[in-house]
Chains A and B, each alone.
Chain A
Amino acid sequence: MEKEKRGSILLEIVILLLSLLVVVPIGYIFLSSIKTPAQIHVPLAMPTEFFTGNFETVLRRVNLPRIYFNSVLVAVVSIFFLIALSSLASYSLARAKNKMFTVIYIIFLSGFMIPFQSGMLPLFTLIRSLGLMNKLGALNVVQIGTFLSFAILIYTGFIKSVPRELDQAALIDGCGLIRTFVFIIFPLLKPATVSVIVTTLVFIWNDFMNPLLFITTTNKMTLTIGMYSFMGEHRSDYGPIFALAIFAIIPPVILFLSLQRYFYKGMVAGSVKG
């Protein structure tokens, strides 16, 4: 018993130290955001006062509510449709025993491996011909397409662990495919859904390549492009960039902190049922 106790205290200390390692850069961001412009360039300068100028610059130069709204809009709409489309498709891919569906599955999976750089230009032409240039809808569509592979990977694996008997029971009761899926299967997919949300949200929220390509007016900017606007030819205003960064991580942090309970709860519940 003694040995175990000592072991666990040691573990606690190690983990605590590790967590400090993680916290230091984060703390650096906070500290940098309250540094005066003169101090920003000197990495070691500790802020002597709480300089609010950076936050003021951000609020002045960037329409914060607007770009917040844009980022949130893109994230929410993209994830909503991503979940809808991928879970539906995964249902078929997991249940149907036809060779054709295996092919489709492979097509979806392979998409994940495609490096995006060479596809940038034709994608751009496509978006333009769809009339989606400078519309947030373009970002939505591209994000959905980008993450379908991953979402389908997760959902398919998960659906396979849901017993087919449930489907059969629903069919016997007279439910069509869609009703079976929406009312019976989908609610059981909560852990998978949360996994998809938790993983893709971060990428969508922080994406800067796509908005840079497709958004041309300032009123449609997302948070990441907002940061870019402070990076210039010869000089970048790092103070406002860090200030903006703090604004940028608050929603994901809140989302994660509130979702993580359901995340773990869902996983545990799912397994007990099985």
Chain B
Amino acid sequence: MKMSLERKTMLGYFLLTLPALFVFLMIVYYPFINSIFYSFTDWSGISLHKNFVGLENYAALPDDKLIKAGIWNTILIGLYAAIIQNVLSLALALALDSKLRLQGYYKAVFYIPCLFSILIISPIFGNIFQYSGLFNALISQIGFSHLAEDWFGTIRTALPMLMLTNSWQWVGFGSVIYLAGLQSIPPDYYEAGHIDGATKLQAFFKITFPMLMPSVTILTFLNLVNGLKTFELPFVLTNGGPGYATETVGTVIYELGFRQGKMGYASAISVVFFSVIAVVSILQLKLTRSREVEL
């Protein structure tokens, strides 16, 4: 049987995707399909028995106090990461792009935080921001002792502190990506703009930003999805506390599935959560991809 060149090529392309597809389906999709199946049962996660309960788990979702707190916090974290943290990374990259004297030092210092494991960052930040910790001691020295708080132990401040800790870790990382993008924009464009009399601000919006779109796409996507999936940091640092202040959907799923013996219920939450993330991120990708300028 003679295959046309085109079909042969298509087959070839397909074969190239196979190894990745195989590993992917096995590691990512097989467990997920399984958990969809669990979501229709009352499985505890421990016992060997699973009973089919239909949509019961899904119906119970809206009434749960824990889940509602988790959803609210997760939305806040997602928005913060995708917008504010993202902008901070860009701002930092722009600052680093200009002729600063200690460039090499800055590039390294801002990136290094992301190399630390959560297991380390958690006790460190926990220690620094305790009531008797370094931060309160410092602000007392400069006369602000009335502002001293148990930063991770107060309802009002726990979540913002969590977000700041996350930023400490990841803003530098984002700025490195943006910086690479910035430095790959050919200077000719700027020269042309300069000749045309564009101000710095105009240059940014008309040249820099559009050319940076691929990086913006990726970083926004990363920040958004990782923000929504946030689990490790609140899990290790505050375990969702104090109260429900730092519970995220991730920690809620873990708590329900692994600690409260409600794996079926937790799986239902995962499925719904996944759908939400999928929709949101696809919308985001569409929005930013459409603005990308191909070189």
Contacts and interface: CB of A to CB of B under 8 A. Distances in A.
B199 interface: no
Interface residues of B, number: 99
A161 B124 contact: no
B99 interface: yes
A146 B28 contact: yes
A154 interface: yes
Contact of A96 (B13, B29, B34, B113): B13
Size class of the contact patch on chain A: 35 or more
B69 to A, nearest CB: 17
Contacts of A232: none
Among B32, B181, B278, which residue has the most Cβ atoms of chain A within 10 A?
B32
A254 B12 CA distance: 39
A184 interface: no
A149 B16 CA distance: 16
Contacts, number: 278
B139 interface: no
B24 A111 contact: yes
Given A126-B30, A248-B117, A113 B184 contact: no
Interface string A21-63: 1111110110010000000001110000000000000000000
Chain A contact surface mostly: helix
Interface of B: 9-10, 12-14, 16-17, 19-21, 23-24, 26-32, 34-35, 38-39, 45, 92, 95-96, 98-102, 105-121, 123-125, 127-128, 130, 132-134, 137, 168, 172-173, 176-177, 179-181, 183-186, 214, 217-218, 221-222, 225, 229, 231-232, 249-250, 253-254, 257-258, 263, 266-267, 269-270, 273-274, 277-278, 281, 285, 294-295
18 contacts: A15-B100, A22-B168, A24-B134, A25-B124, A42-B132, A43-B132, A44-B133, A84-B19, A93-B17, A108-B21, A117-B231, A117-B258, A118-B253, A118-B266, A150-B222, A260-B108, A267-B181, A270-B184
- 10 closest residue pairs by CB, A with B: A145-B27, A119-B31, A122-B34, A89-B20, A92-B13, A118-B35, A206-B117, A118-B270, A113-B277, A267-B184
